[in-house]
Structure 1
Amino acid sequence: MSFDPTMSVAPAAYRRRERWAARLAVVAARILARRSPKTIARTLTLLSRGARPASYAEAIRARESVTGTSLTCASPRGCLPRSIATALLCRSRGCWPTWCAGVRVMPPFGAHAWVVAEGRQVGEAAPPGYHRALVQVPGGAA
């Protein structure tokens, strides 16, 4: 029997309602990820209005739901839809992590998208300071 490392959490570990919410967030994220960076940032800014900041536990739970639902989001190259879907799933629960898109500080150049909660990158293997945010969408703006 083999183990697929891309599926970090078994989908059966979540309630049916939570799995459907994650699937809807992934679908919306994949549609939004095809848009321009300006459109993505504007849309996420509108959606984040009035949301309280997400705790690290809420954000990691949302990220695990998303990566457990979608192989695209679980893959190393799925950072943009994964980060958007994580933020959207958090928003469906009334909170919002800071959504970030930026670049690697160390060569070679590479773009990346991630979420931050309580000042920490959520579920990222890279050490703090490895990425520099060029676009940020914090939650709680009125």
Structure 2
Amino acid sequence: MSLFVAFQRNDVRLSLRANLAARCAVGLARLLARRPPERIRAVLERLRRGVRPAGHEEAKDAYDAVLAVSLRCAGPEACLQRSLAVVLLCRLRGHWATWCVGVPKRPPFAGHAWVEAEGRLVEEGVGYDYFSRLFSVG
């Protein structure tokens, strides 16, 4: 979707259980990312029901876990799969981060997907006002 930041894999160590959960989230995100936007939104709307909002630190931990297990999600053009994997992993952990889709307010104008928690972007490297949100689930 976009070329914002070249992400690097992190050196987070995960337990076997956490590693498996992160890998499941990445795999599900890859499948979900191939669906049309309205289908993705409908699936996420259903999944978010009945769970509490994620704290920023919880969402960042999920983000770090996703990058620790997936080289694809660590790439510069993987914002859709990465953001889906993060919200799915948050859901597996019993909370929900806000999944957002939009465009930057300044060129280059390209679609981008990201995660927010407690009103803050999770590891995007830009300010909160950088993106114009088209829709969100959270």
Range into which the TM-score falls when normalised by the shorter chain: over 0.9
Shift of 1:9: 2.5
Query: Does the 8 A contact of 1:100 with 1:114 survive in 2?
Result: yes
The aligned residue for residue 38 of structure 2 is 38
Give the TM-score, by structure 1 length.
Answer: 0.90
Task: Supply the distance in 1 between the matched residues of 2:74 and 2:68 (Cα, whole angstroms).
Answer: 7
The aligned residue for residue 111 of structure 1 is 111
Shift of 1:6: 2.0
2:42 is matched by which residue type in structure 1?
A: R
Query: Are positions 1:121 and 2:121 aligned together?
Result: yes
Q: Deviations over 1:12-59 (max 9, x none)?
A: x11010000000000000000000010000100000001100001100
1:7 is matched by which residue type in structure 2?
A: R
SS in 2 for 1:72: coil
The aligned residue for residue 9 of structure 1 is 11
CA RMSD across the alignment: 1.0
Task: Supply the distance in 2 between the matched residues of 1:132 and 1:72 (Cα, whole angstroms).
Answer: 25
Shift of 1:103: 0.6
2:10 is matched by which residue type in structure 1?
A: S
Give the TM-score, by structure 2 length.
Answer: 0.93
Which protein shows a greater Rg?
1
- Count of aligned positions: 132
1:8 is matched by which residue type in structure 2?
A: N
Misfit runs of 4+, over 6 Å: none
Query: Does the 8 A contact of 1:41 with 1:135 survive in 2?
Result: no
User: In percent, how many aligned pairs have the same letter?
Assistant: 48
Task: Supply the distance in 2 between the matched residues of 1:128 and 1:62 (Cα, whole angstroms).
Answer: 20
The aligned residue for residue 80 of structure 2 is 80
The aligned residue for residue 60 of structure 1 is 60
